[in-house]
Amino acid sequence: MTEVYNLGVDAISCHAWNRDKTEVAICPNNNEIQVHKRTSSGWKLLETLEEHHMAVMGIDWAPKTNRIVTCSADKNAYVWTQKEDGKWDPAWVLLRINRAATCVKWSPLENKFAVGSGGRVIAVCYFVSENNWWLCKHIKRPLRSTVTTVDWHPDNKVLVAGSTDYKVRVFSAFISDMEDAPGTSPWGQSNTLGTLLAEFPNTPNGGGWIHLVAFSPCGNKICWVAHNSSICVADATKGNAVMRLYTEHLPFLSCIWIGSNNIVAAGHSCMPMLYSIDDNGQIYFVSKLDNTQKKEIAGLSAMRKFQSLDRQARNETNDNALDSVHQNTINCIRRVSDREFSTSSLDGQLVVWDLKLLENSIAGLKIA
């Protein structure tokens, strides 16, 4: 069963959950961030954060420190800290970028975060307690276009980024000012911020923009989805070998790992889809996770349809309704728990999907 929530907005461009998943921060496709709390009677709007003056492009909520970071087309980022009275206090981040901030992600230890931008720059930000502000250091080369997505390796010192130059790159994100010596990872190591550890073209001869990148839970694999309707996985334990699958679906905009071998992707096709990796390392399509909703949305059986035609000479069925819960592009997928993930869409809906129920209904899906 899925849980479908309407939070009273026309569209949601991104969302993020707090630690216990009782609150969610959403961006209603404008310069605002709304914080909603789950109550016994539904969702309640707690506060609207309005420090940005252009469209919010990214949100991430640090579960341990309970801080929200946001970035915007206004070239700014803010770290929001909740005060004792429940209000959120913004702290401006010195990004030093000259184009829109396009994406943001907390590191696993929540002591730094990365911001991608349209200025071919990744800002790795950290807190300087002596000056009581958030400072950043830049990763620039060999980026050649807008950085659209970033993600952190579990070791907190390696970063992956995708951009509109059709490439995925793995960088060292070690900051000597605040961290011990870099640890070991299958992608390599460096004590210099911005060292290029690996680079993957989306296809050998070009390809589409990279929409999202994600490290697997163990950190040995990277998955990315791109605008040429492809889904790709690079495996560091196999010499950085890349597996590619060109799908028949509209382009995906987001994806998450479920265990070490399953991936859920969603985008312009308006429904989440499950892919898996076999023992030979090949990606294959498993199932659409939502393809039975149109009749429920229309609310009319075939008999009622013909009765309506007979009585009123008109069709009451909404022929424009998609065969899915979401009725517009899904642009954000988030993990809710080990057994649940959530999707938000330009139709204004927030949907929570139960992985255990999906495991029982789809052969071959194993949640690790």
- pLDDT digit string, tens, across residues 261-314: 999 999 999 999 999 999 888 999 999 988 554 444 444 444 444 554 555 554
**Pick from 306, 155, 167: nearest CA to 216:** 155
Domain extent listing, the chain = 2-293+300-361
Please say whether the beta carbons of 330 and 271 come within 8 A. Answer: yes
The tens digit of pLDDT for each residue in 72-92 reads 999 999 999 999 998 999 999
pLDDT of residue 180: 84
pLDDT of residue 177: 83
Q: Rounded mean pLDDT of the chain?
A: 89
Tokens 């914080």 identify what position? 35
- Which strand ranges, in their side-by-side order, compose the sheet holding 196-201? 147-152, 158-163, 167-172, 196-201
The tens digit of pLDDT for each residue in 138-180 reads 999 999 999 999 999 999 999 999 999 999 999 999 998 888 8
Q: What angle do CA 122, 127, 133 make, to 5 degrees?
A: 100
CATH architecture of the domain covering 2-293+300-361: 7 Propeller (2.130)
pLDDT of residue 129: 85
